[in-house]
Amino acid sequence: MQITRIPYNALMPNRIVFGDNLETLRTLPSDSVPLIYIDPPFNTGKIQSRKQLRTIRSQDGDRTGFQGARYKTEVLGEKSYNDIFADYLGFLQPRLEEAKRVLTPDGSLYFHIDYREVHYCKILLDEIFGRASFLNEIIWAYDYGARSKVKWPAKHDNILWYAKDPENYVFNYEQLDRIPYMAPGLVGPEKAALGKTPTDTWWHTIVSPNGREKTGYPTQKPLGIIKRIITASSRPGDLVMDFFAGSGTLGEAALMLGRRFLLIDNNPEAMDVMAKRFAQYPDVQFENYAPTVELSHQYALV
């Protein structure tokens, strides 16, 4: 299939670019993007992969389900990417410098990482943005997966929030989602019914392996986390960007919340996942990419 190349226009809504994110960032005008969220590879030193499975009922199945019914597991496919970098900070630095340049004067960067690299990344971000521009370290806590028996199990990610200008940034406090009080009896029925605004510790499940959100892409992040960020730090109609787009969760959240999006990734498997995810939306345009998979499965916004 012939690839259609679309002239680059940073103001064009809902775009997905296949290519090197540093090269693409350098084509963007300064002061043009109000919100950037990125979830770069965590430098785990491993190949990150996720298998797509289907279970069908079979007397000779390899697993047992409800009321003892037997099921057979079929592997439909596997998606992966290399999460090994010899110079991780050297890889990130020019991309983060470009991110600061393209942010609007009141723009924000949310940088999603884990415990292995967060300390080094914060020092790098302090150097680029200035220590005063650091606003929060958000802890996303979850409870899923294996539990180590030789140390405390790691069950959280870190999200560093930086404003381009610490005296001028968007924070829509009144629009934040509400969460239940842990001890509602201590605050009275009126407050308990209203709930409270989140703190810098967010308890939220991962994407369920069997849930509606699942795309099959490794390290996919849940819509609830990304929607909270977009709601807090952008306005309706704003352009939001993720230049490590992965499965495209930022784009789907943006559609739900009335924002425009720009997604960038250089992994063909990520592009295939996003092509499926956004197949039902004709206004989502791709650059430098033509689908290599059958777009038979569509994801509905909920």
Predicted confidence (pLDDT) per residue in 170-204, tens digit: 999 999 999 999 999 999 999 999 999 999 999 99
Q: Which domain holds residue 104?
A: 15-45+84-287
pLDDT bin (cut points 50, 70, 90) of residue 281 is: confident
**Number of domains comprising the chain:** 2
246 torsion bin: left (phi>0), alpha (psi -120 to 50), beta (else):
left
95 and 27 belong to one structural domain: yes
Question: Is 7 contained in some domain?
Answer: no
Q: Are residues 59 and 194 in the same domain?
A: no
Q: Give one word for 188, left, alpha or beta, with left for phi > 0 and alpha for psi -120 to 50.
A: left
Residues 111 and 172 in one domain: yes
Cα–Cα distances in Å, from 58 out to 65, 74, 77, 115, 150?
Answer: 11, 11, 21, 42, 38
Instruction: Look at residue 9 and tell me if it is in a domain.
Output: no
Share of residues in the chain with pLDDT > 90 (%): 67
Q: Are residues 104 and 181 in the same domain?
A: yes
| Domain endpoint, select from 81, 100, 128 | 81
Residue 230: which pLDDT band, with cuts at 50, 70 and 90? Answer: very high
Residues 63 and 143 in one domain: no
Q: Are 283 and 210 contained in the same domain? A: yes
pLDDT value at residue 294: 55
pLDDT at position 50? 42
Residue 3 within any structural domain of the chain:
no
Cβ within 8 Å of residue 85, ≥6 positions away: 41, 43, 91
Q: Is residue 207 part of a domain?
A: yes
Supply the pLDDT for residue 63. Answer: 58
CA 144 to chain centre: 18
134 part of a folded domain: yes
160 lies in some domain:
yes
pLDDT at 106 over 50: yes
Could you tell me which residue, 282 or 264, shows the higher pLDDT?
Answer: 264
**CATH number of the domain that residue 236 is part of:** 3.40.50.150
In a domain, 300, yes or no: no
- On the 0-12 / 13-18 / 19+ scale of CB atoms within 10 A, 110 is buried
Over the stretch 150-169, which tens digit does the pLDDT of each residue have?
A: 999 999 999 999 999 999 99
Co-location of 57 and 162 in the same domain: no
Do residues 135 and 62 both lie within one domain? no
Same domain, 140 and 66: no
- Asked, for residue 146, whether it belongs to a domain, the answer is yes
How confident is the model at residue 11, as a pLDDT?
53
| Residue 2: DSSP 8-state | P
C-alpha angle 274/279/285, rounded to 5°? Answer: 75
**Confidence (pLDDT) at 19:** 96
Contact 196, 183 (CB under 8 A): no
**Do 257 and 141 fall into the same domain?**
yes
Is 140 found in the same domain as 75?
no
Non-local (6+) Cβ contacts of 9 within 8 A are none
pLDDT range class, residue 57, cuts 50, 70, 90: low
71-102, pLDDT tens digit by residue?
565 544 444 434 455 688 999 999 999 999 99
pLDDT of residue 42: 62
Domain boundary among 27, 62, 81: 81
Indicate if 196 and 265 belong to the same structural domain.
yes
